[in-house]
Amino acid sequence: QRIEAGLFYALANDELLIHYQPIVASGSLDVIGYEALLRWNSADYGAVPPSVFIPIAEESPVIIALGDWVVERVLREARAWPDKFTSINFSPRQFKRLDFVERLSALARANGIAPGMIQIEVTETALLAHVRHAQKIITELRAQGFRIALDDFGTGYSSISHLKDFAVDCIKIDRSFVDGMNSDRQSAAIVNALAQLANGLGLEIVAEGVEREDQMERLRALGCSHLQGFLFGRGSEPEQLGLDLRAQD
Ligand code: G
Ligand code: G
Ligand code: MN
Ligand code: NA
């Protein structure tokens, strides 16, 4: 397939990069962490969004090489913000790599990053495709001190029991609920219920897709501790984050 071959080419020819999108505390609006988002600027196809190439990569061995590249790059770049956490997306196919946890631990150690500053994001739907293996990997990751977030929570085949079956640290409320908050009662009620549930379970909660002030105010009032979205930043290369990377290396 062209995209698959294109990704191998991209890996070899430096066409990939990571954008970091801020996650803020809803009270102070301090940036407390970043989500790492993979970007592909292809010489042949232009900017290809991950929503296009990740699903294709997941059907191919290239997902393993891609995941290796992302982890290596992100942990190297995250040295510039040791006091903030970094959240990395994974598809559970990437957990199939036998030394996944070991490799992540080794890279964290080599870069002097505390595992507690690294958060792994996975979707529920993806976990359900590989329940037993995913549970094993999540247990191992948490034993090493890494954090786990359930991404896009509330979409797909969601169930509150997943919060019990998969020991996670954080849930990320899908942006469709944030979008709907002002137009339908259901979305606001769901956000409110999820925030209460998270607080009751001692989980962190991040509301995604916050684009406007009124959404921010609303989410604060509903008890969301953390916010992410274009209102606070779209995501940019590390050089644009206002951090002095020259202090590194
Ligand atoms: O950035 P964008 O909204 O286009 O991302 C689309 C999807 O791609 C999101 O669901 C996001 O979780 C996923 N994604 C972004 N970066 C990575 C990555 O490095 N690895 C994996 N597996 N998925 C990613
Ligand atoms: O599935 P996941 O949550 O990992 O997807 C993250 C994607 O959501 C990123 O690719 C990013 O581009 C996109 N995103 C982040 N903030 C916003 C926002 O405020 N509005 C919209 N429409 N998309 C966003
Ligand atoms: Mn995500
Ligand atoms: Na999400």
| Distance from the alpha carbon of residue 206 to the mean position of ligand 4, in angstroms | 9
CA distance linking residue 119 with residue 150, whole number of Å: 10
- In ligand 1, the atom with minimum distance to the C-alpha of 94 is 22
- The pLDDT value recorded for residue 243 is 59
Q: What is the ipTM of this complex?
A: 0.96
Establish whether residue 54 lines the binding site of ligand 1, counting it when its CB lies within 6 angstroms of any ligand atom: yes
- Ligand 1 centroid to 192 CA: how many Å? 26
Report CA(73)–ligand 3 centroid distance (Å). Answer: 17
CA distance 247 to 73: 17
192: its two tokens: 């409110």
- Cα(147)–Cα(228) distance, integer angstroms: 18
Q: Among the atoms of ligand 2, which is closest to the Cα of residue 121?
A: 4
246 within domain boundaries: no
Q: Give the chain's domain count.
A: 1
Neighbours of 244 (CB within 10 A): 9
The residues, any chain, with a CB within 8 Å of residue 72's CB and separated by 6 or more, are 107
Compute, in angstroms, the gap from residue 87 CA to the centroid of ligand 3: 8
Position 23 in a domain:
yes
**Residue 90 Cα to ligand 3 middle (Å):** 9
245 domain-assigned: no
Question: Residue 230 contacts by C-beta under 8 Å, 6 or more apart in sequence?
Answer: 209, 210, 211
Residue from 11, 54, 70 to probe ligand 1 pocket by mutation (most atoms less than 8 Å from CB): 54
Residue of 206, 218, 229 whose CA lies nearest to 182: 218
Q: What is the pTM of this model?
A: 0.94
Read out DSSP for 1-32? -HHHHHHHHHHHTT-EEEEEEEEEETTT--EE
For residue 75, give the CATH number of its domain: 3.20.20.450
Identify whether 219 is part of a domain: yes
Q: What is the pLDDT along the chain (249 residues), one digit of tens a residue?
A: 799 999 999 999 999 999 999 999 999 999 999 999 999 999 999 999 999 999 999 999 999 999 999 999 999 999 999 999 999 999 878 887 778 999 999 999 999 999 999 999 998 888 888 888 888 999 999 999 999 999 998 887 777 888 888 889 999 999 999 999 988 889 999 999 999 999 999 999 999 999 999 999 999 999 999 999 999 999 999 988 865 444 444
List, in sequence order, the alpha helices (H) in 37-184.
50-57, 62-77, 100-110, 124-128, 131-143, 162-165, 175-180
Provide the residue type at 54 as one letter.
I
DSSP 58: T
Pocket of ligand 2 (CB under 6 A): 21, 37, 89, 151-152, 175, 208-211, 229-230
Domain assignment present for 98:
yes
Q: Which residues surround ligand 3, an ion (CB under 5 A)?
A: 89, 121, 151
Q: Residue 244 falls within a domain, yes or no?
A: no
DSSP state of 230: T
Domain that holds residue 13: 2-237
Considering the domain boundaries, does residue 209 fall inside one?
A: yes
Under DSSP, is residue 120 helix (H, G, I), strand (E, B) or coil? strand
Contact indicator for 86, 33 with CB cutoff of 8 Å: yes
Signed CA dihedral, 64, 115, 117, 219: sign only: positive
What is the amino acid identity at position 151? D
Per DSSP, the three-state class of 46 is: strand
Relative to beta strand 226-228, strand 16-25 is antiparallel
Q: List helix spans (H) across 144-224.
A: 162-165, 175-180, 185-201, 213-221
Residue 242 placed within a domain? no
